[in-house]
């Protein structure tokens, strides 16, 4: 357990059973302080005063409970003991000491206790090595999201946390504003604290592919309570750290949304992992291989990429018209998360070989599309035109622009 050692752990005596099978007698409902040692995990009860108050009938069946904090790691649980009920390292053991004084013991007993698959630890009687559950007081254990399973009630059984989830996004377009939705579900409750006040932090990692800057107070679009809507975002680490104001229940979907800006470069979907502080989480990567998986960014290509001219005659003035339609919308882009001067893409039209038009830093560009700069950079030496895009280019539209060049005197193929 994570419960620290104490000389005054509260022990509560419960009632249960009836007649000869009753527990605690007049002790039922009373409490006492006991000694608890976290290591090696022992509880020591001095029953002298309590048993004296139960005279003359005495008590031959004790039923009590203590409260501890479970380990943050998987534990197999204690019991049942072996068939011979000898000392078994997988069982809880009990030692009874009967003494006239603190030094003179007049008798004693030590043997394993048996766990049953409901809450409780039970001492095997001297005449039997196995007693059915009806012999003992117990309570059913049934979490709201699933039925009780064999072994749930074995003392200090702790399950491996398994957090699963799904991931989706609103846009795979480069440079676009993208709303990411994360849905988390755990097979165990995730408590706000564990042990000595360790706060819970749920970290999503692998979130690479954005130009959204780091923030220690990143505002989520939405968050299912008790998740808090302010998180810690690191673009460099590709991580989002969530916190909670209360317990996350097992078997319950918790959903957050976050707004980011996609990077310009194409990439495959992120393989996102989740981890929880103080829990050894078994993570199921949240990867879905399609356009709406987390931070999949589509590659730019051209649905239309053609050019035409006005004349094939040597030395003639020739109007070259270019027709373009991108497969993804071309938007205002940041080079990285710290870029404070975003810009639109720059087009380079190359291999325009066969002109005698001199190089120019301001070659006139004619267009009715409204998305191109009025002039571009013409380089005769490499036969290319560099042209700035000044507004978004939609993936559903064909855009045109024209430039005037002079044909060379020598014939050539296109």
Q: What is the pLDDT of residue 146?
A: 57
Taking CA atoms, 8 is separated from 95, 182, 259, 404, in Å, by 19, 45, 51, 94
Listed residue (284, 285, 291) closest to 268, CA to CA: 291
| pLDDT tier for residue 404 given thresholds of 50, 70 and 90 | very high
pLDDT at residue 82 in the model: 46
pLDDT tens string 283-327: 555 545 455 677 889 999 999 999 999 999 999 999 999 999 999
Query: Does the pLDDT at position 338 exceed 80?
Result: yes
Least confident of 50-64, 173-187, 355-369: 50-64
Question: Mean per-residue pLDDT for 33-58?
Answer: 75
Alpha-carbon dihedral 401, 406, 408, 414, rounded to 10 degrees: 20
CA angle 362, 363, 364 (to 5 degrees): 110
Structure token digits, residue 215: 């923030």
Q: What is the pLDDT of residues 2-41, one digit of tens each?
A: 888 999 999 888 776 555 556 666 777 888 899 999 988 8
Average pLDDT in the chain = 78
Residue 97, CA distances (Å) to 101, 103, 104, 383 in order: 11, 11, 10, 100
SS3 state of residue 370: coil
Give the dihedral sign, CA 203/208/213/219: negative
Taking only the tens place, the pLDDT of each residue in 192-209 is 776 555 567 889 988 999
User: Does residue 77 have a pLDDT over 90?
Assistant: no
Helix (H) / strand (E) containing 108? strand 105-115
Instruction: Give the span between the Cα atoms of 116 and 15, in whole angstroms.
Output: 19
């Amino acid at each position: 357990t994570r419960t620290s050692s104490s000389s005054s752990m509260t022990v509560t005596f419960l009632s249960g059973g009836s007649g000869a099978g009753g527990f605690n007698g007049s002790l039922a409902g009373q409490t006492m302080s006991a000694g608890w040692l976290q290591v090696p995990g022992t509880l020591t009860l001095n029953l002298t005063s309590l048993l004296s108050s139960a005279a003359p009938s005495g008590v031959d069946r004790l039923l009590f409970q203590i409260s501890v904090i479970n380990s943050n790691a998987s534990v197999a649980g204690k019991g049942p003991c072996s068939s011979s009920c000898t000392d078994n390292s997988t069982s809880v053991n009990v030692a009874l000491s009967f003494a006239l004084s603190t030094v003179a013991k007049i008798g004693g007993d030590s043997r394993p206790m048996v766990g049953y698959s409901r809450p409780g630890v039970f001492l095997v009687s001297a005449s039997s090595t196995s007693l059915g559950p009806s012999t003992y007081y117990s309570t059913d254990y049934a979490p709201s999201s699933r039925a009780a399973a064999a072994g749930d009630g074995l003392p200090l059984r702790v399950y491996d946390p398994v957090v699963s989830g799904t991931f989706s996004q609103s846009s795979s377009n480069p440079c676009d504003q993208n709303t990411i939705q994360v849905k988390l579900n755990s097979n165990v409750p995730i408590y706000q604290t564990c042990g000595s006040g360790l706060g819970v932090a749920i970290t999503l990692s692998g979130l690479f592919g954005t130009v959204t800057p780091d923030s220690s107070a990143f505002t989520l679009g939405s968050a299912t309570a008790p998740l808090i809507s302010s998180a810690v975002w690191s673009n460099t680490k590709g991580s989002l750290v969530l916190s909670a104001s209360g317990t996350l229940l097992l078997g319950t979907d918790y959903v957050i949304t976050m707004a980011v800006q996609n990077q310009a470069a194409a990439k495959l979907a992120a393989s996102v992992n989740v981890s929880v502080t103080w829990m050894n989480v078994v993570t199921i990567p949240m990867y879905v291989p399609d356009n709406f998986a987390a931070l999949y960014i589509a590659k730019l290509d051209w649905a239309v990429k053609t050019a035409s001219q006005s004349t094939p005659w040597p030395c003639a003035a020739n109007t070259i018209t270019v027709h373009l339609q991108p497969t993804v919308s071309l938007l205002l882009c940041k080079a990285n998360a710290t870029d404070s001067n975003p810009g639109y893409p720059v087009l380079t039209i190359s291999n325009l070989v066969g002109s005698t038009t001199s190089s120019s830093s301001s070659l006139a560009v004619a267009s009715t599309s409204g998305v191109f700069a009025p002039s571009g950079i013409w380089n005769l030496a490499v036969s290319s035109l560099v042209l700035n895009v000044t507004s978004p280019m939609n993936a559903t539209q064909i855009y045109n622009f024209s430039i005037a060049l002079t044909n060379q005197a020598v014939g050539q193929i296109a």
